[in-house]
Every structure is written in structure tokens, then in C-alpha cells.
Structure 1
Amino acid sequence: MNLLTFPEIKKIYSNEEAVSASTKYFKGDTLAATVFINKYALKDSEGNIYESTPDEMHKRIASEIARVEAKYTNPMTESEIFDLIKNFTYIIPQGSPMTGIGNPYQIASLSNCFVIGNKGESDSYGGIMKIDQEQVQLMKRRGGVGHDLSHIRPKGSGVKNSALTSTGLVPFMERYSNSTREVAQDGRRGALMLSVSINHPDSEGFIDAKLEQGKITGANVSVRIDDDFMRSVRDKKSYTQKYPIFSSKPAFSKDIQAHDLWKKIVHNAWKSAEPGILFWDTIINESLPDCYADLGYKTVSTNPCGEIPLCPYDSCRLLAINLFSYVENPFTKEASFNFELFKKHVQIAQRMMDDIIDLELEKIDTILMKIDQDPEEEEVKHIERNLWLEIRKKAGEGRRTGVGITAEGDMLAALGIRYGSEEGNAFAVNIHKTLALAAYRSSVDMAKERGAFAIFDAKREENNPFMQRLKEADPALYNDMLEYGRRNIALLTIAPTGSTSLLSQTTSGIEPVFMPVYKRRRKVNPNDKDVRIDFIDEVGDSWEEYVVFHHKFKQWMEVNGIDSSKNFSNEEIDELITQSPYNKATSNDVDWLSKVEMQGAIQKWVDHSISVTINIPNDATEELVDKLYMKAWEVGCKGVTVYRDGSRAGVLLANDKKEEKKEEISESKETSFPIKRPQILDCDIVRFQNNKEKWIAFIGKIDDQPYEIFTGLADDEDGILIPRWVNEGFIIKNRDEKNHSRYDFQYINQRGYKTTIEGLSHRFNPEFWNYAKLISGTLRHGMAIDNVVELINSLQLDNESINTWKNGVARALKRFVPDGTEAKGQKCSNCQSTNLMYQEGCLTCKDCGSSKCG
């Protein structure tokens, strides 16, 4: 009997119906609507959509949580749960729980993040390949993964194989990165964190690895830094690196100048926003799970965003509480925070998180059933099966949860408190202390009803600094914990809430508002009736200018009787911001050292960690990065990331007065590429079909932006045939025997070896190649992608085959147009509106909600 049953037939919505209904739900916010439909609405592998609004999703989630609640005493009802999660008002399951709870169409985990690692820290080739396979198996079930490389022997070490000496850890960084980029996750790419101890002799190579163009593009990297290293930096002393790390009898050791390596970390972070820093001694000393290190809970790395340090094969699910919703009379003099309602909801949120663990265990059982039913031989399946058995054991034994928050920036603004001020920092700390005590109270109460986590031992935890703070703040809670235990080994985090904040229409996580007001322009037809023309660009196109307000900023305006539909000038916008509680409280103008101090103070009440970014301007110095990192260590942060505006290509740049004119012409950014083409480019493969012909596009990229394109028929005698599972690789510029330029495609085959296909430029119809050179030229000179697509669409070509080529190239490049970009010169096929924008490569009409892909 097949244990994987099919779901009952439900109503199917067209994409247009779903986007339209969702846009109405979000009161015209098309970005929130399309994010919901694309990422979280229930759909099957055929693309059929079964939910058109978050109400349907929330009913699905409430039904499943209520089913688990019914197993325990004093269960919550489905309607009670629905009232708490509907409209993203109070409690918000994040990411994988939103997608996966009650989802019969995907066999996927509910966990947002995992960490893996070899028992005994084996660095054999077999052990390293095992990690690679486990990483891929987790990513295909939608999880983000972290693992540490400190166990791999340093470069030059002796090995007993044909190589004789080790290549070190850097080549494996690239391998793991490439594996990440191969895995599709329903429109998402896998997420990976690679870490290494600063004590490792190859840590400098690790720190530099991402600086090489096109390398390690599928992973975040962070360095585990111990207190001894930080003291050596501060005191300008030498530091001893070892392998094995921190061994009393190392096989290899060397002394370095700590300050020199520190300067390299600072420089690279200033230049590229990586590596991130993990203050490892702080993480371990504060960790309650590490009180059980000898039982398998030794923390070894973090999830991709750094907010959940984990032991091997443990996982975590995330949930956010919307802080803005507890502000009564927001943006008025009578504004206040309802602490009693907040505490009540935190306790319920912790209970719901525990219920989600039960749902995750069910999901893992389904994954195991799927593995058993797969036709592969047992020796092929055993790594995947054992992986999920390990994860099931850890999830059921420790019952780890990740309760966090979102909308901290909006909450403070609604209370009239400036983010980053002393008052703001003090209030934020009080919020997180309240949250910690309420969540732990809930976990202790659940231990009375449901039982403590399996290995709870109060004696092991009694000297833990976090536990000592709980004891001092709430002695009664601590005494009850001694008597009853608690349900969950660790409870709290502060994760980034990018998509979640779009749906809740709030600021993200612990962060301040990025920009409360900004201007956009949309192209208009000057002959249309009642059209308003605010700007005519140098090619004669007419544009209407309109203002976009952050949702809560708009609420502040409404509370203060300001008409948000007015056409504001730049000066009026500046004056509005100055009058508002968001003044001098955006991500780019908060006091950076104050923000680090706030993070350190809040960290005292978060048992896991905090994902936060310190945004600094483009002209900030390396000395400032140095100060911020050092301050973070001093105030007790567990990790820190500094992002200098413009330091990473492809990231949205802040507006600048000097560039305003350029920005007005197009909302897409022009890309700055190197003058000389690098020898090796990352490559994405896009396959498409026209008139039953199979076509393929090879898109060479720099910093994830298209740089060149090769396109043609995929499988005829004049075409090219690539295995269907190959979606990425590299384009390498070489020379043929006549010393002519040749572009080869290289990928990693299923046995882990490199396979090269020579001469992309010669394998397609020469006419395709000539047009490809034209398009590649526009890409290399930095033309915005939407303008390139418009240029391709405007080509007047008589040959039907060339028109097929043209349409395929446009389709392939649309994937790279930034979400939210206005589509110029096109009309909606449904309502004829010109108000179109790109969203994940599809054209979406902001007037009627119709969406067209391809």
C-alpha cells in the first residue's frame, strides 16, 4: 500500500484570480500580494493554485495546529488560533511553517534551518562528501543549512592517498557553494552558511575565498572568533593557530599576528560585507543546549542568517510576533504598549511553536516513508534516511523553538520613541526581557502538562549566564522550572523577516525602517485623457511621478490629518519626514555604535542569537568597521554583520542627489562591470519551448547580473544537448587551435567531475550568434535589464526562427529584472493598462492584477 496519499480535490484559482483577490486583501499592495501568491499560497507541482488570500492559508494552519492541540489538556480551538494569526496582526508563523503546515502537495520539512556535521569531526573524503549529500537532501526539502569546516585538515597536510598532501578547506567551500546553487526550492535558491574557527590555520584563505570573482556565490561565510583572539587583537599580541583546533597536542600549529588577520577581516567586510563574525565563546558560554554538549548538543555552526546556532542535525522552526499590534493609540500622545496582552500572546506563541514541532515530526515521518518508497537501491538511500532519522531524534528530544519578533522599528515610532536613542534602546530591552520571561513561563507550564524535553537536567544549567538572568528576574519561574522542567531546550531568536514584513506591512525584525518615503515614476501616454506629466526624459518619454509611503508612515499621516494622495514635492517630503517619528531613525542614519550597544543589551534576553545588519554609508572607513566589530564583542553580541552602502553588487543602493536624474529615467540600476571580461563566469541555464522546438539559453553572469548570453536549439543536429538536471555551470573564455576566442561551458557531473562542452559560440546558428553578440554588448556596457528586454522586443525580424530566438532571449533575461521594476512600452493583455511591473520574471498588472510569465 502506498503510504503517501493524495489530497482531496480543492478549488483551483487562476494566477490572475489569485493575484486579484490577494491584492484586494492587501488593500492594493501588489508587492505583498504577489509575494504571497508566489511564495506561500498552496500550490501543487503542476502550478495549480489552491489559495487566493492569506485567510485561506491561515485557516489551513489553524486547523492543523488545533488538531495537535486536541492531543493535550486544555486545547486551544481552531477559531482561537485563527484569530491570533489572521491578517498577520499578532502571531506570524514564518517561511517553511507558512508554506508547509497542512500542505499535502509538497513532501517538505517545516524547519527553516538546519546544521549538519560529521560525528567525530571526520575530515576524510567520504565524510566531506557525506556532508555535501546531506546538504543537498535538506535543501530539496526547503531548509537552509549551515556547517562548519574547522575539522578539515589545513592545506599541505599529509594524506594517505594519491594526492599525498591536503588541498585544505577552500576548495570544499566552492564545492558546497556549487551544490547549493543546484537545488531549486519552489522559486527560491538554497541558503548555506559556511563557518570556520579563527584558530584554524586555513582561516585566512577562508576569509579571502569570496573575494575572487564568481567564487563561493552560493554561501554566506562567517568566522568563529574566540575571546583569546579578540584580546590578542586588542593588545596587539601574537595568536597561535592549530590543527586540530584548540588541541593540546596539535599535529600542526603556527603563530600569527592577530591584528594583521583582524585587519584583513575588517577590510573584506568593508569591501564586500563578508565575512560575518561569530563571537564563539559568547555563543557557547551563553548557550543552554551546550550544557548538554556531551549528549550531542555541542553547537558547531549557525543557520544561513546566523540567528540560530545549532548542534549537528538539530533544526529550528521560526515564528514572529508583530510588535506594532500591541501599541494602543499609535502615533498619538496617548500611545502606549499593552504589556499584558503581549505577555499573554507570547505564551500562546510558544505553545503554538511546540505544536509545530509535533507537525514537523509528522512531516519527517512522511519524508522517511517517501525515501522507503523510492526505487533507488538501499546503499543509495541510506545517507538520506539516516540524516532524517538523526534530525527526527534531535527535534523530538530537544524540541527547540524559534520565537521572535518583527516590526520593532514601527513599534518605537508608533510610541513616539526614536530608534537608536537611549530611550529607544531601554524600551527595546524591556520588550525582549518581557518576551523571554513569558516564553519560558509558557515552556515551564507546558512541561507540567506535556512533559519536559527528554534530557532536561536543572543541575547542568544552574551556572549558565542566561539561566542566571532568568532566575534573578523571576525567582518563581526558576523554582517552577526546577520542579517541573521545561518543554523546550532553547526558545528564542530574532530572525530577519523580509517576506514576513512585506505581508505584515511593517519594518523587518529588529531593524529600523529602511526608507519611510520615496518617489517613483511610471511611464504615461501624453495623449491619454486627464494624464499628468511630471517629467519628460531625454528620449521624449513622458512620466508621472508618484510617492510611495512605508505603510506605517502613511498611518502616521492619516492619524495627523495629512492627505497621502497629495502630489508632494521633494521639499515637502523632506519636511514630512522631519515632522514624523521616523526622523533620523532610518537604517542609514541611526547611530551605528548605539545600534550595536542595543543589540548587545537585547542579546542578554535572547537564548539563541540575533540577525541584524549595521548599515553604514559608502564613504565609511575601515576604521569604523573595526570599531563596530570590536564594540560588538565588548557589549556581548553573538554575531554581527556590517553592510557598507554599495559594497556588494546587486544590492539596492541608497538614492543620491547626484544620481537622481539617472534614477528618474529608469527604476532599474545600471550595472558596473569590469572593462576586461573575466576568464570564468557563473552561468545560469534557461530552457524554453516554442512551437514544439526545445531551446536553451546560457546566461553568463557577474555578481548575479547577466553579462553575456548564448542561445539556440537544444537538441537538433545543429544544437546542443545538456542533461536536464544541469541548471548552472561556468562559461570559460578559451582559445582554439587558430588562436580565436572560444567560449566553453563547464559543469559538475553527477559523479563530481568537471564536464566541458567546447565552443558555445560555434554550436548555434551563426545568425543567432550575431544577435547574441549585440545583446551581450548591451549587457556588458551596463544597460538596465528591463531596457535590454525592451530593446529585444522592439527588434523587427522577418525570419520566424530568429523571432523564436528573440522571444526566448527576452524570456530568459526577464528573470533578472529586479522585482517592482516598471515595464515600459507594454500593455496589459487583460485591461490594456500600461501600469505593469516585473515580479520574479513575470509581468504583473498593478491595475487588474493580471500576470503573464514568459
Structure 2
Amino acid sequence: MENSKTYSFEEAYEASLKYFDGDELAARVWANKYAMKDSFGNIYEKSPEDMHWRIANEIARIERKYKNPLSAQEVFDLIDHFRYVIPAGSPMTGIGNNFQVASLSNCFVIGLDGNADSYGAIMKIDEEQVQLMKRRGGVGHDLTHIRPAGSPVNNSALTSTGLVPFMERYSNSTREVAQDGRRGALMLSVSIKHPDSEAFIDAKMTEGKVTGANVSVKIDDEFMRAATEGKPYTQQFPVDAKNPKVRREISARNLWEKIVHNAWKSAEPGVLFWDTILRESIPDCYADLGFRTVSTNPCGEIPLCPYDSCRLISLNLYSYVVNPFTKDAYFDFDKFRKHVQLAQRVMDDIVDLEMEKIELIMEKIKVDPQSDEVKQTEYHLWEKIKDKSGKGRRTGVGITAEGDMIAAMGLRYGTQEATDFSVSVHKELALNAYRSSVTMARERGAFAIYDAKREARNPFILRIKEADPELYKDMVKYGRRNIACLTIAPTGTTSLMTQTTSGIEPVFMPVYKRRRKVNPNDTDVHVDYVDEVGDSFEEYIVYHRKFLEWMNINGYDATKRYSQEEIDELVAKSPYYKATANDVDWLMKVRMQGAIQKWVDHSISVTVNLPNDVDEALVNKLYVEAWKSGCKGCTIYRDGSRSGVMISVSKKEKKADEKEQVKDNNMETKFNSPCEAPVVTETRPRELECDVVRFQNNKEKWVAFVGLLDGYPYEIFTGLQDDDEGIVLPKTVVKGKIIKQTNEDGTHRYDFQFENKRGYKTTVEGLSEKFNPEYWNYAKLISGVLRYRMPIDHVIKLVGSLQLKDESINTWKNGVERALKKYVADGTQAKGQKCPVCGHESLVYQEGCLICTNCGASRCG
């Protein structure tokens, strides 16, 4: 390699700090992740300027193979300072880097043709997954071909275990290859029509299971209609067989509710609206030639056929806003159109660079010391990838900083006006990327299997035809260079270097006993916090760079610390008002995704971020709206919902999972203050949803009525179920309402109301009169603690510490503990309690029980 000069980390960091105008986090991100290094950690680039010249020179080298080549200076001007065009992580790291033998592709999907339902096929896919991940690729594959549990097999087992055990196999392989900072990302999918789909949906709800994979369900239109209309749905195996071996009818609504519940609780599964994906897919016009879409990459934005891959690049939308955050702001569409066409051209050059990388990988495999028998699978894998990449020349041109663009234009994220503007931008992106691909087909040749007749009825192509008839005419005449061109992918840590956000984030960070610290020795970005004693609780600093620009442009002091009152006043004047994750109209965000999707030939990776206190009904509504709006997929993340679902068994693994948590949140870095007080509703609503919890204690039957506000326990009534003055309810009653009534004399009572099987309402009046008065008084005390949002595990600890002399009251106390345990977030540590088996202080809550993470002992009740 020509550049043999090396730099220390400190030298690279200091130079990058100047490059990023003093942004410490951006400087460390670049020096840690993207500066060219060898396997010994020697750094060969001093700042991102060196990296951009490395990329520009390589692109220019490829350009010289074709007509009208771009110069290195033209490419450099396009990518310098991450201003306009930004290659994704794999191209940024790998282009021109001969110290590492790695792919430039970010995304891969694998899968075997024909009958792949055998141990041999399953293990072959496992090896291919690992071989790709070690080259820095994210991998997706589908499990629909695996026979359901209980099916006969021709081996000693006699019957199949179903697909769930293989989810764990693939997950473990990912975790293995991703050790020590190496990349490993996996998407597992299955058709909703598969008889094991419910088990697939539930697999990640078990503590510590399938922690190395994202999971998504491929949902067809028939299922969605059945679920929304309350009709039955038929599952079968094989799912596309005319005469299936297994066939059963299920309640679509019940299975849909499980999907919604799990997504609400743990942010998974994601949903892929599979009929929409296939209907809109241009590559599927060539399904019989090997381009049948079977799954997606880990982030869900690239539906792919087996052994196809995709490279990614983004345009920074904020940079095309002229006079940002002023009344004279406008979007420079002329420059944007020009740059989109250049970005598509650069993207096609990167396909050529990837083909070179594949050749290097295959040459390395040839000279590896292992036998040909050992190397055969890996070598053949890259042969298949090379074949698909060459035939389709698939690219992924996308965007970043959409949220900042909207704010800079003076629009409010989530409004119809902002959505309409965004759609106009994405329409121009699509038309100009396709125009560039057609121009390259004329100069360089179309992708190998292009056939205009095959694509004639594709909905996306028809939109192109309607919007730009001349472009469509040229495409039919000359073809297209790339089988598909566009996507909207998460920009990950590159958004830190562009100092923008894809969506809208909160713009202030509390500084009370907190400051940001980045560990320079980590291989990935690690944001930690350390105490900073003496700061006022109400002091905040601005951390979002574009909000700082708005403040400076509009004459506000961006250097001071602000109180909460000052923040409220300041934000209300800004274009970010009512546009943060907790404020935005979530339904409008989903509709915006659906509207933009019409101009994206692949998919859109977007997570709808919800506050913790939303209920399952909203998740259901958002998913259904996503389907109706034409989204190809949707993922819901409720703040804190992953807590305890993916439990790590060591501190090191916990930190790794926390990094993944940061990535999952729309791939943006978020700073959440633990000092924020939870929202307290002091005035009790007249009606509260209620859970009925039954249990036995010392052979006595007990019942608890737990009033819920936004899914969180707000009050509790509990006592004996079958004494003379108690309450006897049908066993089927598990939910209802607690209604606060005002008596004629001005006093209050609490009634319980439920619906019976026939839908008739039954009201039990005066819960307070049904229980022992002493129980009632203690319940009022505990309800007051719940109302002010003390964490549930602390409430349980408080109840357990009450020193009560009367044995019956102590029994009641135990009942309260049991009733509340079901609301403790899975994975919450039972601090101060030791495992009765091994003696370690390693107990966590899981579905209301205490589980020891050291020895595995469990204790319920």
C-alpha cells in the first residue's frame, strides 16, 4: 500500500477533532471505527480528509473504465465533510483498504434452492451465515422451509422439534462471531402461514433466548384481513403447497393480538407486509431467474433473494436547505437532482469495487492452509454472491437528516405539510436515481437480465412512467444499469459524524450529576456517564447540533445552561416544537412512511418510538395503519420495553446489549436522564382498566383488583375471595373496570364492572365494603405509593418490610406482593435478596417469579 505512514490514536483524534469543529464524540467515532487500520491496530489515516481522498481515488479509478469519467476531485467534493453524499460503514471502511479482506456490502440474504428441510441444509446455512459475518456483513434468512413441530422425520428422533431450536442455533452463531467488537447482525423471518409461527413469535420472550437475532414475521394480506375482520385463517406446511402435509385453522385475531402484545412488551417481532413487498418488488419480476425475494437484511430495509447483497450510500438532506431555520429557507432541488445522479453513479462504481473485493476473498480462500473439503462451502458461497451481484448490480441509495431538513425548512415533523414536502423530495430522489441508472445503461450496459416486458406492470415502474414518460421511454430503449436502486437505511454512527438526525430527537440533555464520556479504547462507540457533583437538577445543556444552529441563527445564547422553564419557552418557539419522539403524531409518522414508500423500490427502515406508558391498543392501531398505508414493514419500540427481555449473564455482555439498544433506537444515540421524574396523575380518572389476579395463600383463596393507568398499576384492592362478605366472580373474569362513584351524601365508592361471555355488563358495587376495613386502609396506603409511581419492585419490597402482628394481615400482605409481582419488568434485579439455593445476590424477576441467574433456581409466590 502506498500510504505506509502510521499515526497514534491521539494524533488521529486531535486531527479529527479539528475536522469536526471540536465535536469530541464525532472525532472518536471516526478514529475508532472508520480510520484505515491493519490487523495490529496501526492507523494509516490522520483525519476523515485522508479517508475521503482514499475513497475518491478508488472511485475515480473505476470511473476511468467508462465513458465520461468523474475525476477524483469531483468525487471528493461530493463526499468531503460528510456534507452531501455519505457512503455507509462497510464501503467507508473497506474501499481502498487492502489491510482487510472484507466485503463492501452491508446486507446479505442466504437460502438454499429446493428442499432445504434437513439437518444438512440447516447446518450449511449456519456456516454460510458465519462466513459472511466474519467479512462484516449483516445476514438475513428465512425459516419457513423448516417443518413444524411434531412432523414425522426419518431419523432416530421420529418427530421434528420445529423451527424454534434452530432460531437459537443461528442466534448463538451470531453472538460467537461478533465477539471482541466484530460485527454480527442477523434477521430471522418466517411466514405467518407456517404452523410454528406462533412459537417463532414467542421465542424471544423467554429469558436469555435468541438474543443474537432480530425476528420479523412475514404477514400476508389474507391474514391481515382475517385479523381485522375477526375471521379464521388457515396455516399449512409447506406454506405454498396445493396439497399441504399439515393444515389447520386458527383465529387470526388471537395470533395478531399476540404479535401486538409481544411487540408492545419487547419491541419484537417486527412485521413485514409480505404481499406489499412482493407486489412492489422489481427484482421479483425476475423471480424465475433466481431473484425471488425470501427475506430481508437485519434492519429490514433491503428485501433480497438468496445470495444477493447490497451496498449503501446516503444523501444528507439538511445540506440542500438554503438559509436554514429562517423565513427565506428553501430546498435546492437543482443541486439535489444533480447529486442524486452522481450518487447513483458512485454507487454503481462501488458494485465494481465489491466485485474486486469478492475476487480477493476468493483468492484468499484458495491459499488458506485448510483442505479443499473444509474450504468448499465458503468458496462456493462467494461464487454465488458474485454471480448475483454481477447479474443484478443492486444498489441502495438513501437519505439521512430528514428530520433536520424538515425543521430547517420551518415545517413541523408529523404534519401533513411536512409529509407532502418529504414525499416531493423522495420522488425527485427516485426519478433522478433511475435517470442516472438509465444513462449508465446507455454508457456501460444494462444489468445482465434486464427485460422491459417483465417489468411492464410493476407498480413502482408504472409510477416512474406516469411521473416522467421520457425517462420510461429511455429505460425501455436502453435498459437500466441496476435491478433496484433505492432504500432508506439506518445511518448508525455515521449520523454522529454528519451531526444530524434521521428523525427528531430530544434536543436537551440534563447535566445533573451527569456528563458524557467516551471510552477511547473501545472498538465501537461507547457512551457512558460519570457523576458531576454540584449541578442543579434543573440545569440542561443543548446537545443537538442543528438545534444549536437554529439558536445561533435566531439570536439565542447557545453557551448557557437552561432551566426547565426556559427550555419549555425556547422549544415552543423552535421548529422542533411538538416534534420530539414523545410528541410526534405517531399515526401521521406511519402514514408518512407509507407515502414515502411509494418512491422507494426497496424498503424503509424506521422504528416508531413510543413513550413507555402507551397501551397495546396504540401498537395495534399503528401496525394496522402501516399495512393500510402501504408500508412494507414496521417496528415498534416502546421506551424501556427491551429491559429484561434479552438478559445478559455478565457485565461485559450487558454492555454489548446496551450498545445494541442504542443502535436499535433508529440507530441514533440517545441520552436519557435517570433523574427525570415519572409522570404522575394525581386526579384519579373516573374509570380505570383493571386486572383481576387470583392466587392461593395457605389454602385460602384470594383475589386482587389492580387498577391500571396506561398499563401501570395505579391502585389495588385485595382480600379473601370467598368469605361471607367477599366477592365471588366467574373464573373467566380476568379483566374489567374500576369505576369511582359519588354517593348522594358526597362520599365515594369504587365499583367493579365486567362483561360476561354474552357481552352483558355486570357491576359489583362497593369494593371498599367487601373487604376487611384494616385491609382497606393498608390498600389505600399502598395505592398512594403506586399513584406516585414508585417502581413496582420497590413497592413490593416496602410491602414485604411491613411489620404486622396480626397473622391474617401478614397473609394479606403476602397476597399483595403476589398480585404486584406480575407487573415487575422482566429482568429487574431483586436487590438485597439472595438465592435460597446458591446464596448469591443474583435474583431477577421473570413473569412474576424470581429467577437466579447464577444457578437457575426459580421461586414463585
TM norm structure 2 = 0.74
* Counterpart position of 1:516: 507
Matched, 1:323 2:317: yes
Count of matched residue pairs: 664
**2: CA distance, partners of 1:495 / 1:452:** 25
1:60-81 C-alpha deviation (Å, 9 max, x unpaired): 1001001000100110000110
2:279 partner SS = helix
Whether the 8 Å contact between 1:142 and 1:185 is mirrored in structure 2 is no
Matched, 1:611 2:605: yes
**2: CA distance, partners of 1:205 / 1:262:** 13
**2: CA distance, partners of 1:523 / 1:278:** 40
* Counterpart position of 2:627: 633
Matched, 1:160 2:154: yes
Mean Cα deviation higher: 321-330 or 495-504: 495-504
Q: 1:190 to 1:550 in 2, by over 3 A?
A: same
* Counterpart position of 1:554: 548
**1: CA distance, partners of 2:636 / 2:553:** 35
1:829-850 C-alpha deviation (Å, 9 max, x unpaired): xxxxxxxxxxxxxxxxxxxxxx
Mean Cα deviation higher: 556-565 or 20-29: 20-29
Whether the 8 Å contact between 1:147 and 1:301 is mirrored in structure 2 is yes
State the 1:20 CA deviation: 1.8
State the 1:780 CA deviation: 7.7
Whether the 8 Å contact between 2:297 and 2:303 is mirrored in structure 1 is yes
* Counterpart position of 1:601: 595
**1: CA distance, partners of 2:635 / 2:292:** 24
For 1:516, the aligned partner's letter is V
* Counterpart position of 1:542: 534
Mean Cα deviation higher: 176-185 or 85-94: 176-185
Matched, 1:474 2:468: yes
Structure 2: unaligned runs, 5 residues or longer: 516-530, 644-657, 662-669, 680-790, 798-824, 846-861
**2: CA distance, partners of 1:410 / 1:540:** 31
1:545-564 C-alpha deviation (Å, 9 max, x unpaired): 66133100000011011121
Structure 1: unaligned runs, 5 residues or longer: 1-6, 525-538, 662-669, 677-701, 709-732, 743-772, 782-854
2:114 partner SS = helix
State the 1:340 CA deviation: 0.6
For 1:428, the aligned partner's letter is S
**1: CA distance, partners of 2:838 / 2:562:** 54
Q: 1:146 to 1:597 in 2, by over 3 A?
A: same
1:770-801 C-alpha deviation (Å, 9 max, x unpaired): xxx7xx77x989xxxxxxxxxxxxxxxxxxxx
For 2:98, the aligned partner's letter is P
State the 1:26 CA deviation: 1.2
2:342 partner SS = helix
Q: 1:35 to 1:674 in 2, by over 3 A?
A: farther
Structure 1 residues 743-822: aligned runs within 5 Å: none
1:620-649 C-alpha deviation (Å, 9 max, x unpaired): 111111111111111110000011111112
**1: CA distance, partners of 2:383 / 2:830:** 44
* Counterpart position of 1:286: 280
* Counterpart position of 1:265: 259
1:277-300 C-alpha deviation (Å, 9 max, x unpaired): 000000000000000000000000
* Counterpart position of 1:391: 385
For 1:600, the aligned partner's letter is G
State the 1:180 CA deviation: 0.2
* Counterpart position of 1:763: none
* RMSD of Structure 2 on Structure 1 (CA): 2.6
**1: CA distance, partners of 2:50 / 2:241:** 55
1:567 partner SS = coil
Matched, 1:495 2:489: yes
* Counterpart position of 1:792: none
Matched, 1:134 2:125: no
For 1:21, the aligned partner's letter is A
State the 1:703 CA deviation: 9.4
For 1:439, the aligned partner's letter is A
State the 1:121 CA deviation: 4.2
Paired residue for 1:341, among 335, 359, 382? 335
1:647 partner SS = coil
Matched, 1:587 2:581: yes
Q: 1:272 to 1:481 in 2, by over 3 A?
A: same
Whether the 8 Å contact between 1:364 and 1:388 is mirrored in structure 2 is yes
**1: CA distance, partners of 2:57 / 2:603:** 31
* Counterpart position of 1:124: 118
Matched, 1:659 2:677: yes
Whether the 8 Å contact between 1:18 and 1:37 is mirrored in structure 2 is yes
Matched, 1:56 2:74: no
1:241 partner SS = strand
State the 1:519 CA deviation: 2.2
1:654-696 C-alpha deviation (Å, 9 max, x unpaired): 55875389xxxxxxxx9989999xxxxxxxxxxxxxxxxxxxx
- Percent identity between the aligned chains? 65
State the 1:8 CA deviation: 4.2
Q: 1:633 to 1:362 in 2, by over 3 A?
A: same
Structure 1 residues 90-101: aligned runs within 5 Å: 90-101=84-95
For 2:508, the aligned partner's letter is V
Q: 1:403 to 1:335 in 2, by over 3 A?
A: same
1:192-226 C-alpha deviation (Å, 9 max, x unpaired): 00000000000000000000010000000000000
2:121 partner SS = helix
Whether the 8 Å contact between 2:9 and 2:43 is mirrored in structure 1 is yes
State the 1:260 CA deviation: 0.5
For 2:353, the aligned partner's letter is L
Q: 1:247 to 1:45 in 2, by over 3 A?
A: same
Q: 1:415 to 1:224 in 2, by over 3 A?
A: same
Structure 1 residues 399-410: aligned runs within 5 Å: 399-410=393-404
Whether the 8 Å contact between 1:645 and 1:654 is mirrored in structure 2 is no
Paired residue for 1:250, among 244, 259, 263? 244
Q: 1:464 to 1:703 in 2, by over 3 A?
A: same
2:388 partner SS = helix
State the 1:615 CA deviation: 1.3
Mean Cα deviation higher: 16-25 or 320-329: 16-25
Matched, 1:433 2:424: no
1:67 partner SS = helix
Whether the 8 Å contact between 2:513 and 2:532 is mirrored in structure 1 is no
**2: CA distance, partners of 1:227 / 1:56:** 50
* Counterpart position of 1:357: 351
**2: CA distance, partners of 1:111 / 1:369:** 18
State the 1:522 CA deviation: 5.8
Paired residue for 2:138, among 132, 138, 144? 144
Q: 1:705 to 1:127 in 2, by over 3 A?
A: farther
Whether the 8 Å contact between 1:645 and 1:653 is mirrored in structure 2 is no
**2: CA distance, partners of 1:645 / 1:199:** 30
Matched, 1:106 2:97: no
**1: CA distance, partners of 2:379 / 2:338:** 40
1:119 partner SS = coil
